[in-house]
Amino acid sequence: MSDDPIHKVKASKSLGVYIYIDEHLSWSNHIDHLAKEISSGLASLKQIRLFVPPETLVVIYKSLILPLFDYCDVVWAGVNKGLSDRLDRLQNRAARMITQSDRETRSADILKLLKWDTFGDRRQHHYCSYDV
């Protein structure tokens, strides 16, 4: 463009901080980055969970971790099932941590207790309410 060469890259960061698109227009780089950020937040949540009530953990989760899931999710709402499941597992991990539930308890029951939507439902809601 304008006599400047366009360089081929394997992945590029776009739309600010958290959107990563690779050469195949796959969201795997984005989800990898997102999962690392969320896991880091969950590790911090795990460290304090014994010292604060569950209600406070929910507030911390909703203010510091949930926005990572929601940022531009309408753009990557069509992500494949494997990547989507990875995000669902992170949410389920947070829900178990907050409620101190064991692995025997169904994730759906924990989400219902917390009155949380699944991320598929959440992304769908954001997509449907997005004004194009």
Give dist(CA 127, CA 22) in Å, integer. 22
Domain of residue 15 covers 11-129
Tens-place pLDDT, residues 54-98 = 999 999 999 999 998 888 787 766 788 888 899 999 999 999 999
Q: What is the pLDDT of residue 16?
A: 56
Q: What is the pLDDT of residue 44?
A: 95
Given pLDDT bands bounded at 50, 70 and 90, which one contains residue 49? Answer: very high
Q: What is the pLDDT of residue 77?
A: 63
The reply to whether 4 falls in a domain is no
68 and 100 in contact (C-beta within 8 Å)? Answer: no
SS3 101: coil
Number of domains the chain is built from: 1
Please tell me the pTM assigned to this model: 0.80
The reply to whether 74 falls in a domain is yes
The reply to whether 3 falls in a domain is no
The reply to whether 68 falls in a domain is yes
- Give the bridge partners for 22, in sequence order: 11
> Looking up tokens 């899931």, which residue turns up?
69
